[in-house]
Every structure is written in C-alpha cells, then in structure tokens.
Amino acid sequence: MFEHEGLSPQEMTHETLGVEDFAGLFGTSVDALRGHCQTLIAQSDFRYRTLFGRERDQVLLDVLKQVDSGQFTVAGKERKKQWEKGWAENLESFREHDRDFSKLVPKYIRSHQPARLNQNYVIPVDPNFELNWYEIFQHWLFTAFFKEAKVVYEFGCGSGINLAKLARLYPDKRYVGLDWAAPSTEIVDEMARVYGWNMKGRLFDFFHPDESLKIEEGSIVFTVGALEQTGRNYEAFLQYLLRGSEALCVNIEPIVEWYDQTNLVDYAAIRFHTQRKYWEGFPNRLKELDRAGRVEILKMKRSYFGSLFVEGYSQTIWRPLEKA
C-alpha cells in the first residue's frame, strides 16, 4: 500500500511508545502507570513509523476519497438494525469459540492499518497496535476511576468488551450493560451465566430514556463510542442523567470540537466525523451546565490517538451536582 522508495533514513526511523508517552496521552502521571500498565506496555510492541511526504499524502487522499464517496452510513436512530446485526455477530462468535473474550473485540478496532498519533498518521510494527493500546487504556481508566464504584452502568455496552474487562478486574461489583440492540444484552447475560458475575443486560434507548431505570448512588455511568451515535440528539439522555443521581459519568468518545482545523490530519477526521453526523456540541453544553452549577467537570482530555479515521478515546469525566 505504501511507497518506500525515495524516503530518507530519518523518514524510515521507528519510534516507540513508552510509559511517559502513555501518561501524556492519558493525561496522567508516570507513577499512575507503574505496575500492571507498565508490564503490559513492556510486553507489547509499540514501535511505529511516522508518515511523511508522499506516504502521508497518500493516506490523506485515501481517507478523503472514502469520506467523499458516500460509502459511510450516518449515525442516528435509523442504524438500530445495523447495530443489532453487528453485535449479533460478536455474540455468535463468542459462543462458537467457547466464550473467548477476544471475540468481543468490536469490528471498528481494526488491525493492519495506519493509526492516528499526535496529529499525524503512523504505521505500527504490530498489526494489533490499536487494540493493545486500548487494553492498556482500559486498565488505567478502570483502576483510576472505577475502584470505589458500587455499580457500573455501561450505556451502549455493545460487544461487552468493557464489562468483561471490568468484571475480571473487579469481580465483586455489580454491572448493568445497557444497549438498544438486544444481542448486546444477550452477551451481558451470557457472561453473567457462564462466569457467575453479578451482571445484567437491559434494553435502553438514548433517544427515549427509560425513566424506570434508577441510577444508584455511588455508581458510575460509562460510555465508550456510544454517545457519538446520538449526533445532536443527546439532550434527552443528558437530562435523564441530571434527573437521576450524582453518579460519576465517564464518557470516552470522539470530540469533533477538539480537532485543529489547520492540521490536515485533524481536518480529515473532522470531515469524517461530520459526514457520519456523530455527536456535536456536548463539551460546550457541559460547560454551560458547569457554569450554572448543575454539573462538575472533572476532566476533559483529547486522546491524540485513534484509528485511521477518527480519535475515539477522548475523555469527558463529570458528575451532576443536583437533581432537576
């Protein structure tokens, strides 16, 4: 796919992500990564080569051509059947392979392709660069913010990959996996039955929140690449959370407002994000609520890491301060 001829030695040099790099990308200290995260980093191959010149231009051109082709579906209410089909495939594979957790990896985490890193494209040595990065991110995030939670509610739980990791890390907690796609809730219930975890799947629609579901105090509300599907129609879910409790909210999502429009690689992500009609406006809405004393924003951190098309791992961590 890539043309190496004519590249300078500098352009062919491999770099690697170390503990300090992960700390910077996560927005934490090196000390916070000591222990298991540091071991995971050492066990994986995080070498990569940054693309320059013609190689970078070719990737940019390919990305923009795909965006302009109209091949990508648009986020929103109309995509429910597609998500049901996709998560049903994960459920079937999970069952067929004796509940192998690797079969829960969402298909949007792809191998053998360029990744995004620090506003540029890179070619990893390990084809599972993004998945390995995400596993370290999961462990850090869950140990940093989830340790004290009594109950974890993952909204848009999808393939169940996050709940599986959490339950192995904290088997004594209670988990609720919520999604509008029935196969997702079946995955959650399957894991509960097979592994004995205190875990339950439940149908939930962001666009029409189920008011009968009460968020318990001392809980965490969690999303990963789920609220992106709401576009500009996230207000119903936001109001549901404001009415519910003062649970810590951890949203790991792409944030279009945090890209730099003067950077070509970022601009390609903006084009992709807006063409897919992913969510927009949430950071400013949350800041409005913070100024009004309705919520407390604890952290907003751009990931500076992602897949070929988008940075999907930016952090917005906040909590409601009062019930409406």
Q: Which CATH number fits domain 76-111+138-320: 3.40.50.620, 3.30.930.10, 3.40.190.10, 3.40.50.150?
A: 3.40.50.150
Q: In terms of Cα–Cα distance, which of 75, 22, 23 is closest to 225?
A: 75
Of 186, 189, 185, nearest to 205 (Cα)?
185
CA 45/CA 56 separation, integer angstroms: 22
CB 157 within 8 A of CB 179: yes
Pairing of strands 199-203, 219-224: unpaired
Write down the pTM of the prediction. Answer: 0.93
d(CA 196, CA 178): 19
3-state secondary structure of 249: strand
Contacting residues for 223 by C-beta, under 8 A, at least 6 apart: 154, 155, 156, 250, 251, 252, 253
Q: In whole angstroms, what is the distance from residue 222 CA to residue 180 CA?
A: 15
- Residue of 166, 106, 157 lying closest to 130 (CA atoms): 106
Length of the chain: 324
Q: Where are the alpha helices (DSSP H) in 2-79?
A: 19-26, 36-43, 53-68
Rounded to whole angstroms, how far apart are CA atoms 186 and 220?
Answer: 22
Q: What is the token pair recorded at 276?
A: 């897919």
In order along its 324 residues, the chain shows pLDDT tens digits of: 444 445 544 456 899 999 999 999 999 999 999 999 999 999 999 999 999 999 999 999 999 999 999 899 888 887 788 889 999 999 999 999 999 999 999 888 888 999 999 999 999 999 999 999 999 999 999 999 999 999 999 999 999 999 999 999 999 999 999 999 999 999 999 999 999 999 999 999 999 999 999 999 999 999 999 999 999 999 999 999 999 788 999 999 999 999 999 999 999 999 999 999 999 999 999 999 999 999 999 999 999 999 999 999 999 999 999 754
CA torsion, ordered 134, 139, 144, 148, to nearest 10 deg = 130
Cα–Cα–Cα angle for 214, 218, 221, rounded to 5 degrees: 60
Q: Tell me the domain boundaries of the chain.
A: 76-111+138-320
Amino acid at the residue 214: K
Helical pair 129-145 and 161-169, crossing angle rounded to 10 deg: 50
- DSSP collapsed to 3 states, 296-315: EEEEEECCCEECCCCCCCEE
Give the pLDDT score at 13: 86
Question: What one-character-per-residue DSSP string does 125-178 give?
Answer: SSTTHHHHHHHHHHHHHHHHHSTT-SEEEEET-TTSHHHHHHHHH-TTSEEEEE
Q: Contact, 221 vs 151, CB < 8 A?
A: no
